[in-house]
Amino acid sequence: MKKFILSLASVMAMGTFATAGGSIMNVEPAIEPVIAIEEPDENTFYAGLGYAYQNINIEGSEAINAVAYPPLYGETDISAHALTLLAGYGFNHYLAVEGRYTFSLGDLDIENNGGEGEIDADLSNLALYLKPMYPIGGLTLYGLLGYGKVTLDDGEKYSESGFQWGIGAGYNINDTIGVFVDYTRLYDDKGFDTIWGDQDVVVDAVNVGVTYEF
Mean pLDDT along residues 150-159: 95
Domain assignment present for 201: yes
Q: What percent of the chain has pLDDT over 90?
A: 64
| 184-193 confidence digits (pLDDT tens) | 999 999 999 9
Mean pLDDT along residues 100-105: 98
Which of these, 48, 51, 46, 54, lies nearest to 184 by C-alpha position?
A: 54
Alpha helix stretches (DSSP H) within the chain: 2-19
- Beta strand 115-119 pairing with 122-136: unpaired
Domain assignment present for 31: no
Domain that holds residue 118: 44-213
pLDDT at residue 40, as a whole number: 52
For residue 35, how far is the Cα from the chain centroid? 33
DSSP state, residue 29? P
List Cβ neighbours of 43 (8 Å cut-off, separation of 6 or more).
89, 90, 91, 92
Domain assignment present for 127: yes
Domain assignment present for 32: no
Phi, psi of 96 (to 5 degrees): -145, 165
More confident residue, 32 or 125: 125
| 117-141 confidence digits (pLDDT tens) | 999 999 999 999 999 999 998 899 9
Query: Domain of 76: which CATH number?
Result: 2.40.160.20
Domain assignment present for 206: yes
Residue 198's pLDDT band, with cuts at 50, 70 and 90, is confident
Domain assignment present for 12: no
> How many separate domains does the chain show?
1
Domain assignment present for 176: yes
Residue 211, beta-bridge partner list: 48, 178
Domain assignment present for 190: yes
